[in-house]
Structure 1
Amino acid sequence: MKHILFIVTSASVTGTGKHPAGYEFSEIADPYYEFINKGYTVDFASILGGIPPHVGYNSSEKISKKFIESNGFKRLNFSHKLDDVNIDAYDAIFFPGGLGLMTDMVDNPLVKEIIKITYENEKVIGAVCHGPAALLNVKLSDEKNLLKGKKINSFTKAEEEKDKHILGDVIPFMLDEELIKQGAIFSHTLPFESYVINDGNIITGQNPASASRIAIEMIKSLE
């Protein structure tokens, strides 16, 4: 049996405009069922522990509605504090997106250390939408930047503009541009279409439409 740790934002506001933030609901719900349907165990940790804030719940999305009524959602709302987690117990880590993550994970030393350990132990790292923001500023044991030369994608500038995510007011930076600055080989598809890149043990997805596919790709790597 494989064990997956979802690492979830605790930030409830974003930008200078203090807009509501948190994790994007479907980006936990959709991958969660891909993993548990394969017989995997999913645990949840967040920066502060407890109930992580969320946005984007849509009761017309069957999987999201199923998840919000599930024991998995109850466990998510008793998330472990990330400080208390033994990362060695997990075969993979996954960063669901949501704007909150761009606030509390970009420079968090513990998040950087967990990603470094997971990568250097050749375990699987997944991140979707704004989730790849967690991969910024990770220095490996040889002092190289994790992202240098890695094939990566994330939510794009075109998608931010379609969502009217104004720089500063809503988002602190353009994620695709920052990933490229740190050496990532960035690729993408049309806005809001599913797109996933698998580069060894780092797997990234562009947007909410990519959330199930990224879990499927992580499962392939774990198998």
Structure 2
Amino acid sequence: MLAVVLTVVPLSALSTPALDTVLMIVSGEGRDAGKTRPGYEFDEVSQAWLIFKANGLSVEVASPQGGPVEADKYNPKEPFNAQLLADHDAMGKLANTRKIADLQAADYAAVYVVGGKGAMFDLPRHAPLQELIANAWQRGAVVAAVCHGPAALAPVRLADGTALVAGRKVTGFSNEEEALFGKKWAKEFPWLLEDALRERGGQWSEAPLMMPHVVTDGRLVTGQNPYSTPGVAEAIVRALGRTPVARQPGRDERAMAVVHQLRSGDLKGAAAAVKRDPAAHHVELIGMLGYYQAKAAGDDATALRPALQTMELAAPYMTEPQLTLGIADAHLRLGNREKARALVQTVLDASPGMEQAVTLLKRIDG
């Protein structure tokens, strides 16, 4: 990728950025809800936007080409998405994004780069965006990104020629996460995000697969994955000198909170929290999280056990044979052959001849 040469305003000429406006950057790459070309993540827009608005901040939206932009497939019934979809002002701004090249860094207190795999394509190669981010940083603005959004930060160089991320604590969509969820598009990426940030001197950190993780280093805020979005948005609010207003966490956040509780050693407390109010927790997300964490764990028992416990936390509230088979497979890898066989048999009783169940049973009896 070509290096971007920036003309940055001297520090002596800098002014204080606007106190109440956040510039939200989204990829304009998306087509057909992500089927033929990946775009941005609507969940990462809606959750952040609602937090910014609740804390008295204005939001503008920009993309490389300006105009309408297309998100990847998302659930419009998810409460935070439904709330933003009903906001005519917000949807109008997404339908007619501002062109990045037309903007001035001095107009914004913060720049927030939304993720989605599209961000790996058009944002790193867009020179006006790199210049805008560099100038915003030099002027004292907060610079933030979530999931694949930090791809826009990787090429940014400051007035002295150093990389923006050099020597600073950062995170983003990890190589481990990419290995499981990026197979369709990752082969076309210019680089893996984690590799690029490390190579440019970023001090990388990450949480277990798809767990929320927010890293704040002064005015630089990064989040690991989509579930880090509320934390990133509130970190931006705090970096702007405000105390985030109290709010009720959504079911995704509650789900992640009980998984964190489980992984911290309080399995009984996590199970009790879900049992008290299953509807308040996104139990399907808990099950999915455990399932993929188990896949990533391989035969590492230390990583596999909490993944198994996470799947079992969701199992009483789901009727998904794939989850049951995931639990059985984890038991098998941990040496609990009889438990694995019993679970597979329950699937075969309900769905005789199910290919995945038959294959797993052969492994158990092999």
Please tell me the TM-score bracket, short chain as reference. Answer: over 0.9
Per mean C-alpha deviation after superposition, the further-off stretch among 155-164 and 188-197 is 155-164
Query: 2:211 corresponds to which residue?
Result: 193
1:56, distance to aligned residue in structure 2 (A): 3.3
Q: How many residues align?
A: 219
Any gaps of 5 or more consecutive residues in structure 2? 1-18, 242-366
CA contact (8 A) 2:30 2:72 kept: no
Query: 1:24 corresponds to which residue?
Result: 41
CA contact (8 A) 2:62 2:99 kept: yes
CA contact (8 A) 1:167 1:174 kept: no
Query: 1:215 corresponds to which residue?
Result: 233
1:171, distance to aligned residue in structure 2 (A): 3.4
Per mean C-alpha deviation after superposition, the further-off stretch among 136-145 and 156-165 is 156-165
2-side partners of 1:179 and 1:201: how far apart? Answer: 17
- Correspondences of 1:136-175 after superposition (within 5 Å): 136-166=154-184, 169=187, 171-175=189-193
Matched, 1:67 2:84: yes
Structure 2 CA distance for partners of 1:175 and 1:19, relative to 1, 3 Å: farther
1:144, distance to aligned residue in structure 2 (A): 1.2
Query: 1:98 corresponds to which residue?
Result: 116
1:70, distance to aligned residue in structure 2 (A): 1.7
1:118, distance to aligned residue in structure 2 (A): 1.0
Query: 1:80 corresponds to which residue?
Result: 98
Provide Cα deviations, 1:46-65, integer angstroms capped at 9, x if missing partner. 11111111113112421012
1-side partners of 2:186 and 2:93: how far apart? Answer: 34
Helix, strand or coil: the match of 1:94? strand
Structure 1 or 2, whichever has the larger Rg, is: 2
Per mean C-alpha deviation after superposition, the further-off stretch among 184-193 and 65-74 is 65-74
1:45 to 44, 58, 62: 62
Structure with the largest fraction of helix? 2
Q: Which amino acid aligns with 2:155?
A: N
Any gaps of 5 or more consecutive residues in structure 1? none
Query: 1:89 corresponds to which residue?
Result: 107
2-side partners of 1:164 and 1:8: how far apart? Answer: 19
Q: Which amino acid aligns with 1:158?
A: E
1:163, distance to aligned residue in structure 2 (A): 1.2
Query: 2:133 corresponds to which residue?
Result: 115
CA contact (8 A) 1:26 1:56 kept: no
1:20, distance to aligned residue in structure 2 (A): 2.5
Tell me how large the CA RMSD over aligned residues is.
1.6
Q: Which amino acid aligns with 1:33?
A: L
Provide Cα deviations, 1:62-106, integer angstroms capped at 9, x if missing partner. 101221222212221111111222221111110000111111111
CA contact (8 A) 1:147 1:182 kept: yes
TM (norm. structure 1) is: 0.93
Helix, strand or coil: the match of 1:197? strand
1-side partners of 2:153 and 2:79: how far apart? Answer: 30
TM (norm. structure 2) is: 0.57
2-side partners of 1:168 and 1:190: how far apart? Answer: 20
Task: Give 4+ residue runs of structure 1 displaced > 6 Å after superposition.
Answer: none
CA contact (8 A) 1:147 1:183 kept: yes
Helix, strand or coil: the match of 2:61? strand
1-side partners of 2:205 and 2:27: how far apart? Answer: 25
Helix, strand or coil: the match of 2:221? strand
2-side partners of 1:101 and 1:207: how far apart? Answer: 13
CA contact (8 A) 2:65 2:100 kept: yes
Structure 2 CA distance for partners of 1:125 and 1:168, relative to 1, 3 Å: closer
2-side partners of 1:194 and 1:168: how far apart? Answer: 22
